[in-house]
Amino acid sequence: MRTLAVGLSATSLALAGCSSGDDGGSGDENTIVVSTFPFGVEEFQQAVIDPFTEETGISVEVETGSNADRVSQLQLTNGDPGIDVMLISDYYAAMAQEDELFQQVDAEAVPAMGEIADFAVEDAYAGPAYSYQLNGTMYRTDEVDEGQAASWELWGDPDFSGRLALPDISVTAGQLMVSGVGQAYGDGPYDVDAAFAQLGEWAPGILQFYSSTTEVTNLLTQGEIVAADALSGFATDLVASGEPIAWTPPEDGRYMATNRAMIPEGAPNPDGAEQFVDYLLSAEAQSTSAEIVGDLPVNPEAEVPQEMTDVVGDIAQDPVAAGYETLDPAELVPTRDEWVERFAREVSGA
């Protein structure tokens, strides 16, 4: 099982035999083009794409790239994207919707949308969520206990000063953290004035505001830090390997991010795209994706592997019942640039 690496920017990869992009999207009813993240591609091929092709006879060409790069490319296509399905983080999905780059996924044509969790079919998005990430604290069990890790006060504890890490706001965990602090110390998840003021107080004791999974997991395993605010998927491989590391949700201010399955306006094969999204949301695909890729499933009938429950416990069965909420993209998209600039100036000193 891979560790989630949400928020990383990477050079586009390509599967052997896949389209470079210029040749894809021919409109062939037996072929679709899927754009996805530049990590875990082989695992996703095994878990979802190959079984989908076997079941439907529809071939899948894969293109990859960072969220930002793929949205930028979509903006330049003038309604002829050459892509049938884009798998993308929720913030970038919402941003692209502002430019009317995605069409509404038809729930009647995708019956599996009626089987998935309510948070995965929010009206704010034109396409459903197919996986999600939980924000919390990853910590060394030989240095910090669960109660300490669950408290936001950990980040200002002088006993751990200089041995803590927090995410930069530019990565997925960063916005979830800011909203959690806003909820805990202010008037709610969008009270960034309160959040930045509190984070600014904690900043002198923070060793690093990280921007990649590798960066923070190395700091933790090498003992340079004792805890980091992080997505639950970051801990999966470390916990499975027997490292003295665990993950826990915060006592309050629990927020999650989603990955969405979006169909671009002008998709060459919308029927094939809908079939792919329907399969992606099925209990079968959600189970194999959880097992092989490491994606938390949105279909309640999916099987959650032991490696995940070892990290998040029963939360994977119903994150909303466990107190987790998604963020409103209408609050995030218009303010993103301002909040990133303020975070650098008021918190991280970047």
Among 256, 236, 4, 231, smallest CA distance to 137 is for 231
* Residue-level pLDDT at 350: 61
Q: What would the CATH number be for the domain defined by 134-255+326-348?
A: 3.40.190.10
Query: Which stretches of the chain are assigned E, i.e. beta strand?
Result: 31-36, 59-64, 85-89, 102-103, 129-140, 164-167, 206-210, 227-231, 245-248, 256-264, 296-297
Q: What is the pLDDT of residues 161-190, one digit of tens each?
A: 999 999 999 999 999 999 999 999 999 999
- Helix (H, G, I), strand (E, B), or coil: what is residue 292? helix
Give the orientation angle of helix 90-98 with respect to helix 67-75, to 10 degrees.
20
Among 261, 333, 340, 320, smallest CA distance to 119 is for 320
User: Which helix (DSSP H) or strand (DSSP E) does residue 276 occupy?
Assistant: helix 270-281
pTM tops 0.85: yes
Residue 24, Cβ density class (10 Å: 0-12 exposed, 13-18 middle, ≥19 buried): buried
* Residue-level pLDDT at 29: 83
* Chain centroid offset of residue 151 CA: 23
Query: Distance between CA 242 and CA 227 in Å, rounded?
Result: 17
Q: CATH classification of 31-132+257-316 is 3.40.190.10, yes or no?
A: yes
Q: Which amino acid is at 40?
A: G
Two domains, one topology: 31-132+257-316 and 134-255+326-348: yes
**Cα dihedral 19, 25, 28, 32 sign:** positive
Q: What is the pLDDT of residues 281-338, one digit of tens each?
A: 999 999 999 999 999 999 999 999 999 999 999 999 999 999 999 999 999 999 999 9
Q: pLDDT tens digits, the chain, 350 residues: what are they?
A: 433 333 333 333 333 333 333 444 445 789 999 999 999 999 999 999 999 999 999 999 999 999 999 999 999 998 899 999 999 999 999 999 999 999 999 999 999 999 999 999 999 999 999 999 999 999 999 999 999 999 999 999 999 999 999 999 999 999 999 999 999 999 999 999 999 999 999 999 999 999 998 999 999 999 999 999 999 999 999 999 999 999 999 999 999 999 999 999 999 999 999 999 999 999 999 999 999 999 999 999 999 999 999 999 999 999 999 999 999 999 999 999 999 999 999 999 86
Would you list the domain boundaries of the chain? 31-132+257-316, 134-255+326-348
Among 32, 12, 41, 133, smallest CA distance to 82 is for 32
